[in-house]
Amino acid sequence: MMPNKHIFFGIMFSILFFILGIPITYIVLIIATSILIDIDHALYYIIRFKKINPIEMNRYFMADACLENNDNLLPVLIFHNFETLMLLVILSIFFPIVLSIFIGVLIHMILDWKAMPTLRYPPIIKLSLILVLLENKRRSKR
């Protein structure tokens, strides 16, 4: 899903959280997290291609990188996965403010999961980091 849609839905959820009486500090953290999680796309692109070009990066993620039925290595997105969500749940037990980060990441992930069929991404890209690494290992042996 494109960042502008994440911003829109982040604001919509923040209005709901405000109505529910969630403190503004937590709401800001939820919104920021739901948008900034996409930094892992940029990190992956910069590390893989050793350049910073937002236009090419967007083209890569929208057209080349993740299409089903191709043999390219899948992008390793360190924040877009079940393992990160579980880590945040565990950390929120000890640090309650992390619950806001978890909620932001979860909102982002739900929106991404909903958009995945349209983008023709294989489901594992944003489900499990471990599965992506295993799939990349399998693809590199071809």
* HSE value, Cβ hemisphere, 13 Å, CA-based, for 30: 22
* Average pLDDT of the segment spanning 118-130: 78
Q: Count the domains in the chain.
A: 1
User: Residue 44 belongs to what domain range?
Assistant: 3-140
Query: Distance between CA atoms of 10 and 81, rounded to whole angstroms?
Result: 19
pLDDT in tens, 57-88: 888 877 665 555 567 788 889 999 999 999 99
pTM of the model: 0.84
